[in-house]
Structure 1
Amino acid sequence: MTVTYVIDGAEVTGLDAFWRVLGAAVNGPGGYFGTNLDAFADCLRGGYGTPDDGDFAFLWRDHRRSREALGHAATVHTLERRLARAHPTNRAALQARLADARAGRGPTDFDDLVAVFEREAPGALALA
């Protein structure tokens, strides 16, 4: 039987809030299910609260509010933080992506999260 975790998009006011809401959805209040894209991908692969058989789904309610909260302005903030600690070989790519985000172009934090869902748990995410 599929276990469905509900992400309340109205509570996603930024990326830090997303990690908190997601962790609580999967593992209860104060629960963990990643705090960056790499950790999130690891969690989706199993062993961090989802069923061992991989029979789980996510329903992201009110995702439009999350899409707005995790849009280009939030992405600029995320990329600035990443750039500050990036390896020198990654800086040029991050700077280019940051310039795009500042201009309102390119993928957003929301897009990045959806891409991780699609890559690591294909078909497991429903947007409502």
Structure 2
Amino acid sequence: MTVTYVIPGAEVTGLERFWQVVGEAVNGPDGYFGRNLDAFADCLSGGFGTPDDRDFVIEWREHELSRRALGHEETARQLRARLARVPEVNRAFVQGQLEDAEAGRGRTVFDWLTEIIDERAPGTLRLL
């Protein structure tokens, strides 16, 4: 039997809220399913609430609302925070990503999340 986890897109107002929403969708009230991109990827690999046999679907309803909330403005905000703690060797790369985001170009937080889902749990994402 396939388990469906519903992400209510209207509730996703930023990345921090996404962590709360996806945690609750998978593991109930106050549930955990990652609090950063690496942890989210690990959770999708199994053992953190999803069925071990990968028989699940992530149904992201009203995803266009989330796409806007997790767009270039949120991406720039996240990259500014990352830039403050990134090693010097990666600073120019992150700075370039930040400049793109501030100009409304490049991948967004929404793209990061959907790409992680597609990579770690292929075929499970339904954007509605």
1:83 Cα deviation after fit:
0.7
1:2 Cα deviation after fit:
1.0
Match of 2:86 in 1: 86
Aligned residue type for 1:13: T
SS at 1:39's partner residue?
helix
Aligned residue type for 1:59: E
Q: How many residues align?
A: 128
Match of 1:71 in 2: 71
SS at 1:59's partner residue?
strand
Aligned residue type for 1:108: T
Structure 1 residue ranges without an equivalent (≥5) = none
1:52 Cα deviation after fit:
1.3
CA distance in structure 2 between the aligned counterparts of 1:68 and 1:49, rounded to whole angstroms: 28
Structure 1 runs (4+) deviating above 4 angstroms are: none
Match of 2:36 in 1: 36
1:90 Cα deviation after fit:
1.2
Cα RMSD of the aligned pairs, angstroms, is 0.6
Match of 1:59 in 2: 59
CA distance in structure 2 between the aligned counterparts of 1:54 and 1:114, rounded to whole angstroms: 17
TM-score by length of 2: 0.98
Match of 2:21 in 1: 21
**Structure 1 segment 76-115 matched on structure 2, within 5 A:** 76-115=76-115
Name the % identity.
62
CA distance in structure 2 between the aligned counterparts of 1:111 and 1:62, rounded to whole angstroms: 15
TM-score by length of 1: 0.98
SS at 1:13's partner residue?
coil
